[in-house]
């Protein structure tokens, strides 16, 4: 089991209201985790996938690259379940994979931070859009992304460290921004 992050180990997540400094530290931590997942992030293009044996597929789609930022969509593609919960052996699922969580992220390479632009997930009760108070909503979204990135790393996911690698084959359909 991975030790709690430095930021999360210093915070009592239930006792104190989030503050701007804590949010910025969490965004920096998320940037570090994202770079461990995709070391060549500033130069990546296209769609990339990671699927360690026996694990759900993780898809990274580069939306936009600029000299100082990368905008990307990170999505877990969960297999579609049949009536019994799993497709029969040797059969393709009849429905497309379910994409959840599905996050649109912007990485600021000069500031070494990740901003959650949108997040769609149903596992944890957080807001999928920013409402008042915005700081608390951003905190919950970034905390979810922090936990998710840690999970992806523990599961063995990773994207090529070569900036020229892209996903070959048919483009996969992703859900639009929430």
- Give the pLDDT confidence of 159-177 residue by residue, as tens digits: 887 655 544 444 444 444 4
Calpha distance 79→72 (Å, rounded): 22
Looking at residue 113, its pLDDT comes to 96
Q: How confident is the model at residue 98 (pLDDT cuts 50, 70, 90)?
A: low
Both tokens of 70, joined, read 């990368």
Task: Reply yes or no on whether the pLDDT at 130 is more than 70.
Answer: no
Strand, coil or helix: 10: helix
Give the residue with greater pLDDT, 150 vs 95: 150
What residue ranges do the domains of the chain occupy?
A: 18-78+96-154
Give every strand in the sheet of 69-78, ordered side by side: 47-50, 57-65, 69-78, 98-108, 113-120
Residue identified by tokens 């089991």 is 1
CA dist 176 and 178 (Å) reads 6
- Nearest-angstrom CA–CA distance, 174 and 142: 21
pLDDT tens track for 1-58: 344 455 544 444 444 567 888 889 999 999 999 999 999 999 999 999 888 888 888 9
Cα separation, 33 vs 42, whole angstroms: 14
The string of pLDDT tens digits covering residues 146-163 is: 999 999 999 999 988 765
Q: In terms of pTM, does the model score above 0.75? A: no
Sequence-ordered list of residues with C-beta below 8 angstroms from that of 176, at least 6 positions apart, any chain: none
Question: Nearest CA to 42 among 20, 68, 16?
Answer: 68
pLDDT band at 60 (very low <50, low <70, confident <90, very high): very high
Taking phi first (over 0 means left), then psi (-120 to 50 degrees means alpha), and beta for anything else, what does residue 80 get? beta
Task: Give 122's pLDDT tier (boundaries 50, 70, 90).
Answer: low
**Which tops the pLDDT comparison, 115 or 90?**
115
> What's the pLDDT at 132?
52
């Amino acid at each position: 089991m991975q030790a709690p992050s430095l930021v999360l180990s210093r915070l009592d997540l239930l006792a104190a209201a989030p503050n701007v400094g804590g949010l910025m530290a969490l965004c920096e931590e998320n940037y570090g985790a994202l770079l461990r997942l995709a070391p060549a992030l500033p130069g990546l293009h296209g769609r990339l996938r990671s699927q360690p044996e026996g694990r759900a597929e993780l898809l990274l789609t580069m939306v936009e690259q600029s000299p100082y930022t990368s905008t990307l969509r990170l999505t877990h593609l969960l297999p579609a379940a049949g009536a019994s919960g799993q497709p029969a052996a040797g059969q393709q699922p009849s429905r497309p994979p379910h994409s959840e969580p599905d996050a649109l992220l912007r990485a600021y390479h000069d500031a070494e931070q990740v901003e959650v632009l949108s997040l769609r997930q149903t596992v944890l009760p957080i807001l999928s859009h920013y409402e008042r108070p915005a700081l608390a909503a951003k905190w919950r979204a970034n905390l979810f992304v922090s936990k998710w990135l840690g999970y992806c790393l523990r599961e063995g996911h990773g994207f090529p460290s070569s900036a020229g690698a892209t996903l070959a084959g048919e483009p996969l359909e992703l859900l639009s921004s929430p």
